[in-house]
Chains A and B, each alone.
Chain A
Amino acid sequence: MKLLRIKAYQLFANYRKPMSFNYWDTYPLPPLSTIRGWFHYIVWNKNKDENRHYIPMAMSIQGVSSSVIQDLQTLIKFDRKSNAKGKPILEGFNKVLSKSPTYVANIFDVKLNIYIKAEEKFLNRFIENIFKLDYPSLGRYEDLLRIDELKIIEPEIIDFYDDEHSIKYGIYLNKDTAENFKLDGIHYRMNFKYDKELLEKTGIRYFEKKDVVYVDNGTLEEGEALFDKEENRIIDLIGDKVE
């Protein structure tokens, strides 16, 4: 099995939780939908003439960060025109731009390890395209991403019976995986991909959700998992079934 391994770094990041307004909360690592969207954006970005379509994919998102900072930031928001006094007006939208102080949870010093499984030609195209963008970012546009490695790897399945593995990095696991390895962590019901038909019908993105468990410490003593020997990490793919 071939996977794309991405090693990357962000100084600051906010992986906003859906429906969080007025206090922008964050997941500890980029959620599934963010990585899925990012992958699609980069794969299709320079090939706009092609018949673009959904690429079935699965991923393993891992990383460590130094801390979470609750930062007070000024956000620009579109306000109603009646509050226009002395503020710039946005013609096309018939709105006023106003400033709104908001607490934003910022994750600081994030080292990411992301594994993506998809049809190999798309993995190659991702590698080819990523530096053709203005700049790579992940999450918010302003959260720059330094790409440290892009490599196609072939991981093996490892049995932990003889040699246990201790997790010292944050990772999203499938709920079943966490249960099998008896690992406890934070349970999230996380957006993965949206229903295109429903979007066309309603103008709203309704997401298929996945039950994942965020784990950042623990030991794998029994059972099997995909393993990246070079990086000494397990890989637990979450997403579509990709052959």
Chain B
Amino acid sequence: MERVYLGDWLYNAGIIGFLKINSHLWDVKNHELKSKDENLLKIGENYIEFDRKIFDGFAKRYFDYAFNQYGRYDHIVSLFNEYLKDLESLENPKEEIISEIHTRLNKILSGFSLLKKKLGKLPSKNIVKKDLTQLTNFLKNALKILKEDKEEFWETDVQIYLRGIYGQKSFLNLSVNKNRFQKFQKDFEETLLENKNKKDKKYKCINCSIRQAKKDTIFDTGISKFYGLNPDSINFVWNFNSKLPLCEICEIIYFSYFAGLTPFRKDNKPVYYFVNSDTSIENLLKENLILEQKLTTDISENKFIDFFTELVLMSQSEKARYFLANTVVIELDLNSDTMPKIYSFNISKEKAEYLQKNKEDLKKLSKTFYEIKNERFSILPQILEKILDNSLSYEFLNNLLRIYLKKVNNSVYYKTNINPYQMQILNLLIKDFLEKIIFGGRSMDISNNELWFVYNKGAQLAKKLKDKNAENKIQSIAYKLLNALRVGNTNQFMDILIRTYMAFEEEIPSSFVKTISDKNLLYPLGYSFLNGFLGKELNKEGLNNE
């Protein structure tokens, strides 16, 4: 068995890529990563271990993965089918349409030399305008060739695609223009499977320090164009020695890193993402699968916030706080020499602790949203964003309550599915956030039990109003309380509260006395009351403590 351990980020991407290329050997079930055959592939905490038999059929899987990731072939086939359908469905297509399709076709072919060579010359615009069959026949022929010679396209596309990512290694060498698959199979699959690579007599592998290096193989630009290590940049390595020998196993891992990346079109340019953290193989794979899912299904503005939200909520227990602080998403633009960009979850130890501690409560808000004029906003990612930039405050809760009241009034423009009970949870989250992060650990001297108690008092008063057929007053009182809370006006708030309680011959909860001595307490107490007042659910925990 050959063992490889997590290491630098590129190597980690290689391990994830290697796993994805061999995806028939594992499964994620019930959030757990499981090997399907431990004799072939074993997944450890910070390593994977595999038998050389894993390389049986590796070349095909490697090519298939790259071909699908590139996706050009399928994209073009479906485009051509669309063009054909457009042209055939219209009896007399307008000249502009024909001209547009012609222009696009020309552009596609200029970037796809193999197809262009096979198809011959595209008839000119004037000809196809006169005789449309020239164009439809051309498209039909193109589709036929694409289908018949798929294998050849498969081979060249993989080469074209990976040349943009790696240097000139094996079949990617510029002088190789036929039998590329065979070359890869011979260079990697066969030699690895049968263990017949020549080993270097002198050097061990710099990366693993275990295996003997492969003859004439160094870590250089052949493995990655952008990694910043080449024979010139000698001051980045120990003793100015930039010729770093590699073993065949570490080499194939590095050579698989493209499959660990998730491609994404950003501003109409292809970029690649990789999530790096080093908690475990399982987490690293799961994190990258989550990001992949986020990038393919969710095209919201704040996709990384969505991703990090998911990360925080991942149902496993966090192994170390450092993990949250040091998870980064690496963005690569492989078509230019620019450095990788790093997106991180830059958080302090206190914030990591806060998120860890409140994970379950945050989860309760995970499906909530609000809508303004049909534009939908997910609430939890917004909370996370505010936590990250230290702007989570009662103002946010005030806005949500306002939207909630508008929804209750059957507003056309405002919708939300958050309920007062969840808003009370948010109230407690904000209070905890202010205490732990903004006030630097200074307590507000009010317990969660006390706040739930006040919440229940609010609910009881609302019930009383309903019993006395004064339900219609609830909303107007709530609005007034909300306005007082928005500007932090204790007098006004207490005034409304006293009048309401007096009108219904009830006693005001004594907790409110505290707001007179400490204005900061108006918010957690006031919102607790308001949430209860608007809510339908009673909190049993709070009731027990009465």
Contacts and interface: CB of A to CB of B under 8 A. Distances in A.
Interface of A: 17-23, 25-26, 28, 64-70, 75-80, 93, 95, 100-103, 105, 170, 184-189, 198, 201-209, 214-217
Given A102-B339, A189-B46, A208-B209, 4 more contacts: A67-B346, A68-B344, A103-B341, A186-B280
B117 interface: no
Nearest to A211: B46
Contact of A22 (B46, B226, B238, B276): B226
12 contacts: A19-B10, A19-B219, A28-B326, A66-B348, A66-B349, A68-B325, A77-B235, A186-B46, A186-B278, A202-B202, A203-B239, A209-B209
Interface in B1-21: 5-11
B319 A184 contact: yes
Contact of B321 (A77, A198, A216): A216
Contacts of B209: 206-209
Contact of B279 (A93, A186, A208): A186
Contacts of B280: 186-187
Contact of B322 (A103, A186, A204): A186
Contact of B346 (A68, A215, A216): A68
Contact of B342 (A23, A79, A186, A203): A23
A170 B228 contact: no
Contact of A186 (B9, B10, B240, B323): B323
Contacts of B317: 184
A78 B232 contact: yes
Contacts of A102: 228, 339
Contacts of B459: none
B8 A204 contact: no
Given A70-B344, A185-B319, A17 B7 contact: yes
Contacts of A187: 6, 45-46, 280
Contacts of A170: 320, 322
Given A21-B227, A79-B232, A187-B280, A100 B344 contact: no
B165 interface: no
B241 interface: yes
Nearest to B276: A25
Contacts of A64: 349
A21 B46 contact: no
Contact of A21 (B228, B323, B344): B228
Closest 8 CB pairs between A and B? Answer: A22-B228, A187-B46, A21-B228, A103-B342, A20-B8, A67-B348, A19-B8, A70-B344
A186 to B, nearest CB: 5
A113 to B, nearest CB: 16
A25 B6 CA distance: 13
Nearest to B240: A93
Given A19-B207, A102-B228, A204-B241, A216 B276 contact: no
A167 B320 CA distance: 11
B326 to A, nearest CB: 5
Contacts of B240: 93
B204, B227, B236 — which one has the most chain A CB atoms within 10 A of its CB? B236
A236 B181 CA distance: 52
A236 to B, nearest CB: 16
Contacts of A77: 228, 232-233, 235-236
B347 interface: yes
A175 to B, nearest CB: 9
Nearest to B206: A204
A204 B218 CA distance: 13
Contact of A67 (B233, B241, B319, B349): B349
A185 B320 contact: yes
Contacts of B228: 21-22, 77, 100, 102
Contacts of B46: 186-189
A201 B233 contact: no
Contacts of B328: 23, 70, 105
Interface in B220-258: 226-229, 232-236, 238-241, 244-245
Given A23-B342, A77-B233, A201 B202 contact: yes
A95 to B, nearest CB: 7
B203 interface: yes
B54 interface: no
B339 A103 contact: yes
A207 B5 CA distance: 14
A111 B135 CA distance: 72
A77 B317 CA distance: 41
B348 A23 contact: no
B105 interface: no
A199 to B, nearest CB: 9
B326 A23 contact: no
Contacts of B227: 21-22
A94 to B, nearest CB: 10
A23 B241 contact: no
Given A28-B322, A202-B202, A204-B241, A17 B234 contact: no
Nearest to B239: A203
A80 B339 contact: no
B340 interface: yes
B497 interface: no
Contacts of B418: none
Interface string B323-363: 10110101000000001111010111100000000000000
A20, A22, A76 — which one has the most chain B CB atoms within 10 A of its CB? A22
A19 B11 contact: yes
Contacts of A80: 232
A69 B328 CA distance: 11
Contact of A70 (B202, B206, B219, B346): B346
Interface in B189-217: 202-204, 206-207, 209
B346 A69 contact: yes
Given A21-B228, A22-B227, A102-B228, A215 B320 contact: yes
B8 A17 contact: yes
A217 B352 CA distance: 12
Contacts of B276: 25
A185 B45 CA distance: 10
